[in-house]
């Protein structure tokens, strides 16, 4: 098969980029695979180009490049196709509308895969009939605002399939959206086997990793670890990750660490790439999030032989961790329960070792080969539907494109009215 992924920016860093690279690299062992990045701002991908995968880009933002697009007259004009409800909307433009449309019009592939809602909308609206059209959801339906959910509910009806990273989110898509004829499957993210030996469970370190944002609730982790230190002052905590440009969350955590007298026990380590060598320096991993669309760090830690203590937040942890077997699940926001779960593993060397070994074994189900096989089976089945599926699709396309034209006109009138109102208030 010829498989084409459409990615926001393959040259940055993030969970969607990492999991797309993992999947593309594995599929490329058996298929012709390309990644088309809407934007390119540097010479080489930060995560390294996946072996065997063709890399292309549509908009060049390298200032010293002869094909630099930052001065193109359409680069500053707001996008009309990329939906406003997608959080990346301000980065898109009339130029991206045109470049993506041309790419999809001329694409010769069996399957085209979008990797965020805005790009899935492009594929639904602009991809020619022929390739199987798959939209991936790397967050959750409920995490999107009303405007984007409405766009998804309408536009995704033109896709052949939607994949989510948890079954809980797949159920949400099936229950809340009416997408007749659209296949909705859950396929988790993949994590490769680490290149280092797994943890031996003897180091007296707890490890956490992820962006320093409020949703990760690192404040709760620090509070819980203060209780751990009161019982076991020989244990320490490392937190890996960077925050936003303001540094507000990092500063708040530093203040909390100082206020709790934990400056010799809790360390903000910044970013680390790769993270595997840091995971295996610890013996227990901690996740205190109030929301996880999947939980890549949970799987990464398990693949390194660490049991994970995690909040049982929506949606991912409960589908990854088997409570009491390969980790622990505790109520969201419960500092005492989290501290108790950490201490149970810290104070029982044999339990910690056995739970870590169980985590290592259980995490093999997220190996890229196994996950790629599930995507491959879906793609193969949809491609094999052939002419019958396509003829039904053409009827569906006609109905929804007619409805889409009406919706586009309504949106246009709404935005024009809003502009007139704003101008009137400023006059």
Interval 8-65: pLDDT, tens: 999 998 889 999 999 999 999 999 999 999 999 999 999 999 999 999 999 999 999 9
Stated pTM of the model: 0.86
Residue 388 has pLDDT above 60, yes or no: no
Chain segment 289-306, per-residue pLDDT in tens: 999 999 999 999 999 999
Q: Are residues 262 and 173 in the same domain?
A: no
Of the pLDDT bands very low, low, confident and very high (cuts 50, 70, 90), residue 130 is: confident
Average pLDDT over residues 175-198: 95
* Residue 196 falls inside a structural domain: no
Q: Please report whether residue 200 resides in a domain.
A: no
Examine the domain organization and report whether 317 and 332 are in the same domain: yes
Whether residue 157 is predicted with pLDDT greater than 90 in this model: the reply is yes
User: Do 269 and 302 lie in a common domain?
Assistant: yes
16 and 123 both lie in a single domain = yes
Give the end of a domain, one of 346, 366, 386. Answer: 366
Residue 408 has pLDDT above 80, yes or no: no
Are 167 and 274 in a shared domain?
A: no
Those residues whose C-beta lies under 8 Å from the C-beta of residue 308, and which sit 6 or more positions away, are 284, 285, 286, 287, 298, 301, 302, 321, 326, 327, 328, 359
Measured CA to CA, the distance from residue 338 to residue 125 in angstroms comes to: 46
CATH number, residue 390: 3.40.50.2000
Report yes or no on 356 lying in a domain. yes
Per-residue pLDDT, 14: 85
Specify the pLDDT at position 386.
Answer: 64
Are 283 and 406 in the same domain? no
Mean pLDDT of 161-187: 96
The reply to whether 30 falls in a domain is yes
379 and 359, same structural domain? Answer: no
Q: Is the pLDDT of residue 391 over 60?
A: no
Beta bridge partners of 263: none
Residue 351 lies in a domain: yes
The pLDDT tens digits for 365-379 are 999 999 999 999 999
Check whether residue 232 and residue 324 sit in a common domain. Answer: yes
Cβ neighbours, 10 Å, residue 100: 26
pLDDT at 239: 97
**pLDDT at residue number 129:** 80
Residue 404: φ, ψ to 5°: -65, -40
Query: What's the whole-number mean pLDDT along residues 148-160?
Result: 96
Let me know whether 272 and 355 are in one domain: yes
Residue 67 lies in a domain: yes
Sheet strand arrangement including 205-209: 266-270, 236-240, 205-209, 284-287, 308-311, 327-330
**pLDDT at position 389:** 53
C-alpha angle 97-102-107 in degrees, rounded to nearest 5: 130
- Residue 128's nearest CA partner among 143, 142, 110 is 110
How would residue 245 be classed by pLDDT, with cut points 50, 70 and 90?
low
Domain contains 378: yes
Residue 399 has pLDDT above 70, yes or no: no
Same-domain check for residues 215 and 167: no
Q: How many domains does the chain have?
A: 2
Helices (H), 364-385: 368-384
Domain boundary residue, one of 366, 386, 405? 366
Contact between 179 and 149 under an 8 Å Cβ cutoff? The reply is no
Residue span of the structural domain in which 84 resides: 2-190+370-426
> Do you find a cis peptide bond into 274, omega within 30 degrees of 0?
yes
Residues 306 and 381 in one domain: no
pLDDT confidence band for 242 (50 / 70 / 90): confident
Final residue of a domain: which of 320, 340, 366?
A: 366
Q: What is the mean pLDDT of the chain?
A: 91
Clarify whether residues 39 and 172 are in a common domain.
yes
Of the candidate ranges 109-113, 129-133, 319-323, 352-356, the one whose mean pLDDT is the lowest? 129-133
Q: Answer yes or no: are the C-beta atoms of 7 and 20 closer than 8 Å.
A: yes
Return d(Cα 131, Cα 151) in angstroms, integer: 22
In a domain, 199, yes or no: no
């Amino acid at each position: 098969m010829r498989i084409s992924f459409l990615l926001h920016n393959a040259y940055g860093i993030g969970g969607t980029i990492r999991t797309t690279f993992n999947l593309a690299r594995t599929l490329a062992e058996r298929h012709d695979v390309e990644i088309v990045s809407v934007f390119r701002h540097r010479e080489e991908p930060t995560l390294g180009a996946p072996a065997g995968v063709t890399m292309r880009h549509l908009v060049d933002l390298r200032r010293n490049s002869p094909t630099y697009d930052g001065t193109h007259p359409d680069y500053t004009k707001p996008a009309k196709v990329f939906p406003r409800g997608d959080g990346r909307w301000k980065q898109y433009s009339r130029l991206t509308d045109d470049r993506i449309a041309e790419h999809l019009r001329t694409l010769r592939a069996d399957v085209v895969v979008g990797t965020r809602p805005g790009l899935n909308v492009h594929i639904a609206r602009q991809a020619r009939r022929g390739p199987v059209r798959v939209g991936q959801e790397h967050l959750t339906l409920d995490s999107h605002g009303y405007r984007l959910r409405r766009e998804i509910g309408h536009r995704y009806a033109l896709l052949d399939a939607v994949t989510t990273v948890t079954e809980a989110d797949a159920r949400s898509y099936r229950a809340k959206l009416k997408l007749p004829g659209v296949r909705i499957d859950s396929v988790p993210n993949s994590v490769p086997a680490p290149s280092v030996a797994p943890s031996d469970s003897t180091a007296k370190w707890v490890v956490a990793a992820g962006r320093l944002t409020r949703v990760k609730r690192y404040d709760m982790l620090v509070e819980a670890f203060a209780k751990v230190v009161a019982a076991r002052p020989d244990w320490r905590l490392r937190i890996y990750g960077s925050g936003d440009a303001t540094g507000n969350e990092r500063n708040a955590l530093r203040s909390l660490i100082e206020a709790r007298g934990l400056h010799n026990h809790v360390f903000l380590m910044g970013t680390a790439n790769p993270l595997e060598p840091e995971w295996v320096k610890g013996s227990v991993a901690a996740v205190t999030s109030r929301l996880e669309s999947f939980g890549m760090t949970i799987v990464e830690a398990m693949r390194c032989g660490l049991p994970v203590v995690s909040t049982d937040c929506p949606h991912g942890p409960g589908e990854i961790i088997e409570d009491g077997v390969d980790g622990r699940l505790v109520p969201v926001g419960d500092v005492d329960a989290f501290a108790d779960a950490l201490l149970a593993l810290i104070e029982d060397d044999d339990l910690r070792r056995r739970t870590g070994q169980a985590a290592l074994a259980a995490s093999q189900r997220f190996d890229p080969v196994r996950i790629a096989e599930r995507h491959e089976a879906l793609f193969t089945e949809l491609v094999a539907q052939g002419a019958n599926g396509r003829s039904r699709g053409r009827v569906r396309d006609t109905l929804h494109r007619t409805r889409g034209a009406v919706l586009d006109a309504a949106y246009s009138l709404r935005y024009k009215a809003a502009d007139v109102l704003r101008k009137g208030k400023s006059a």
